[in-house]
A and B are shown apart, each in its own frame.
Chain A
Amino acid sequence: MPARAPTAILLFLGALILLAAVPLVLSGWILFLLTVAGAKALAVLGVVLLLRGKLLTFGHALYYAVGAYAAGMAVKYFGVREALLLLALALLAGVAMSAFLGLLVARYRAVYFALLNLAFSMVLYGMLLKLYSITGGTDGLGIPEPTLAGFELGGSSLRLAMYELTVVLTAVLVYLTYRFFASPTGYTLRAIRDNEVRVEYMGVSVWRAVYVSYVIAGGLAAVSGCLIALSVGHITPDLSFWSQSGEFVFVAILGGTGSMLAPVIGSVLFEFVRNYAFELSPYTWQMTLGIILLLIIFFLPGGVWSLTALVVRRGSR
């Protein structure tokens, strides 16, 4: 978006600074909630990216779990404790997995795409459960407090550091994804949503655009999983379960698919609402989610993001 670039960048940086300054005002539990929200937003971003190509996946938790367990394995078997290194390893693992599975999955669409991804994620779930000696089965794995850039932190300073790290990482990855989306391949993805046949008749490879998007989405979710592993300190096979994938889809729709920032908004909203609503009434929690989703489908199909777009009057696509 050439003409608006300076304003957009300023806004973005401004928001970033604000977010980074949050710990000055809030602390403890809320900070942790924001950290988790920001981390999960990356997995949701992956789902949103694919949705822009009309690809709905019900198995994205696969990469989320891959990232988390890559970190877990590195900690358990190689004694790695440096957060940045763990994140890099998680990203590598996620991209390797999505690069491989993407070869199989990229030619599918619609219901088949959703089901195949679901199947893969449940296969991983089963494996994580059964390979008890390696993964700890249902007990899961503990992730000890990591070092950050070599610094040995603990307690509240670690929580603060994890928060800032999440903010920075999320901002960087959102920006990178935005750049991808504005590139010709990103536009090809959008075109695929509307008319695959035309794309082929332009001499452009539909498969390649889907594949690249899938790999990126996988990488994003893996980083997400690793951040969660580091923030929460414990991982279980549930990370790969279909309901986790469902949650990502829900948040994607809640936030909206109109912007790469929407997942962040949706994720923050979701974590807070979940945290307080669930305490209020555990028996109506899912129903509440269902009703919210219905309301969005019928009255706010662009998600919460479409509200902010009204306010800010951004016309960019």
Chain B
Amino acid sequence: MSALLETVGLTRFFGSVRAAEDLNMRVDQGEVVGIIGSNGSGKTTFLNLATGYLKPERGSILLGGRDTTALPPRAITRLGVARSFQIPQLYLGMTVLETVLLSLAARAGRIGVWAPLKRSDRSEEGLQVLAQFGLAAHAGRLVGELPEGSRKLLDIALAVALRPRLLLMDEPTAGVSTEDKFEVMDTLVGVISGSGITTIFVEHDMDVVLRYSRRVLVFDQGLVIAQGEPAAVLADPEVRRAVLGHV
């Protein structure tokens, strides 16, 4: 199994706050890995580092064996990495369909200056993507008018629409109500599992990690303190104390 994402000695501080220190991890192709940790354990920073939004002070990031430490988010995205955000990062002034179409155009490298974005054949494809996430009904609505949960889904849909080989999701169920949590994840997993996309998702929620990941990494204050099979790892009292604050 080849490593798709690997970090070696990744280190990043914010002043005296340790967001990552000598972080070594790897995720192999086809894996579905969950990253769990308490607030401030460095989970989001890890995603920021892995996608080039932040630069590490030391260490390197390898994507499919290739050193991407110095690359910016745009380059890393073009190498097949897509990411969703803890707080949905969307274009509030556009419609849902337009947003997806832009994502599709980006994937195809069709960012021209003449041919319109909204051609009828492209719209078909866009609607299909939206349908996968149950958002087809919202196609003509302004993103700014979407309800919270739909925004989260759209944020993820945009990442998936890029058909990446590595999908990084930052707290996909954050802000989603407890009843809807599993429904959202089921939808997601339904879309992803057929395609063999390697997936890493950062989560707060142990239940979600237990149910949807094959392997889990536990972060605590910028270090990986445990990893392995979810049920076993999450039963460990040390882990529970680090993540939940109690046993």
In the complex with contacts A187-B94, A194-B94, A182-B106 CB distance below 8 A: no
Q: How far is the CA of A209 from the CA of B113 in the complex (A)?
A: 9
User: Using Cβ atoms and an 8 Å threshold, which residues of chain B touch A183?
Assistant: 112-117
A212 in the interface, Cβ–Cβ < 8 Å?
yes
Within 8 A of B (CB), among A1-32: 1-2
Q: How far is the CA of A58 from the CA of B77 in the complex (A)?
A: 34
User: Using Cβ atoms and an 8 Å threshold, which residues of chain A touch B113?
Assistant: 180, 183, 185-186, 212
Q: How far is the CA of A197 from the CA of B110 in the complex (A)?
A: 19
User: Using Cβ atoms and an 8 Å threshold, which residues of chain A touch B158?
Assistant: 198, 202
A198 touches B116 (CB 8 A): no
B114 touches A179 (CB 8 A): yes
Q: How far is the CA of A317 from the CA of B118 in the complex (A)?
A: 11
User: Using Cβ atoms and an 8 Å threshold, which residues of chain B touch A187?
Assistant: 94, 98, 101-102, 105, 117
Q: How far is the CA of A204 from the CA of B116 in the complex (A)?
A: 17
B162 touches A202 (CB 8 A): yes
User: Using Cβ atoms and an 8 Å threshold, which residues of chain A touch B91?
Assistant: 190-191, 194-195, 198
In the complex with contacts A195-B91, A202-B102, A202-B162, A2-B120 CB distance below 8 A: yes
Q: How far is the CA of A212 from the CA of B111 in the complex (A)?
A: 12
Identify A182's interface contact among B83, B94, B110, B118, CB under 8 A: B118
Interface residues on chain A, size class: 20 to 34
State the Cβ distance, A71 to closest chain B Cβ, in Å: 26
Identify A201's interface contact among B77, B105, B114, CB under 8 A: B77
Main secondary structure of the interface of A (DSSP, over half): helix
Q: How far is the CA of A212 from the CA of B73 in the complex (A)?
A: 21
State the Cβ distance, B106 to closest chain A Cβ, in Å: 4
Most B CB contacts (10 A, CB to CB) among A2, A190, A202, A205 go to A202
One digit per residue, 1 when the CB lies within 8 angstroms of any chain A CB and 0 when it does not, for chain B 66-100 equals: 00000011100110001100000111111100110
Chain B residue with minimal CB distance to A176?
B114
B150 in the interface, Cβ–Cβ < 8 Å?
no
State the Cβ distance, B129 to closest chain A Cβ, in Å: 14
A188 in the interface, Cβ–Cβ < 8 Å?
yes
B114 touches A180 (CB 8 A): yes
Within 8 A of A (CB), among B106-160: 106-107, 110-120, 158-159
B103 in the interface, Cβ–Cβ < 8 Å?
yes
A152 in the interface, Cβ–Cβ < 8 Å?
no
User: Using Cβ atoms and an 8 Å threshold, which residues of chain B touch A186?
Assistant: 113, 117
B198 in the interface, Cβ–Cβ < 8 Å?
no
In the complex with contacts A190-B94, A204-B106, A204-B111, A182-B77 CB distance below 8 A: no
B105 touches A184 (CB 8 A): yes
A194 touches B90 (CB 8 A): yes
A201 touches B117 (CB 8 A): no
Q: How far is the CA of A191 from the CA of B93 in the complex (A)?
A: 8
B51 in the interface, Cβ–Cβ < 8 Å?
yes
Q: How far is the CA of A2 from the CA of B120 in the complex (A)?
A: 8
User: Using Cβ atoms and an 8 Å threshold, which residues of chain B touch A195?
Assistant: 89-92
Chain A to chain B contacts (Cβ below 8 Å), 14 pairs:
A182-B116, A183-B116, A184-B105, A184-B115, A186-B113, A187-B102, A187-B105, A190-B93, A195-B92, A198-B91, A201-B159, A204-B102, A317-B95, A317-B98
4 new A-B contacts, CB < 8 A, other than A179-B116, A202-B158, A205-B74, are: A183-B117, A201-B82, A201-B159, A203-B107
